[in-house]
Amino acid sequence: MQFTDFLPKGDPRVDGWPLMDNPLPTFIIVCAYLVIVVWWGQKFMARRPNGFSLRPILLAYNFFMVLFSGWLWYEFCASGWFGGGYTLGCQPVDRSRRPRAYRMVRVCYFFFISKLIELLDTAFFIARRKFDQVSFLHVFHHGIMPVSWWFGVKYVP
């Protein structure tokens, strides 16, 4: 049995969605992230005496992420716990095309997208020469989350 045998067994509701037909684009994004933050970014910034001043960009980015995260929280709650029948325990996967089930699939997908957007956190640390904030745990967490969520959205949203 090969990995490609598993691809057709994914949730059909995400077929055709950007980045969801195959994990390769997500792996490539994460590998590029790792090359940039572990090797190239720090090497490039080491030649600069000062980091970039990113205050306006960071303010806009953080404002957007707070709004996006708040919307995700609302959507998770509205499609699951507020009248969706979810409890604090594990839930069976609802593979139906009912609106509430589809809403949960959609919010899971956007949460996956948020994990890709959050790769910028590390890029901002490096661009500002805040190398001490780029720990192994930070890079591991940001590198593994998009991959984990890709599989979650593809197979068990």
What is the set of active-site residues? Answer: 141
Decide: 157 and 105 in contact? Cβ < 8 Å: yes
C-alpha distances in Å from residue 115, one per residue of 26, 46, 53, 91? 11, 27, 24, 23
**C-alpha to C-alpha distance for 24 and 99, rounded to whole angstroms:** 29
- What does the DSSP assignment read for 131-154? GGG--HHHHHHHHHHHHHHHHHHH
**C-alpha to C-alpha distance for 152 and 46, rounded to whole angstroms:** 38
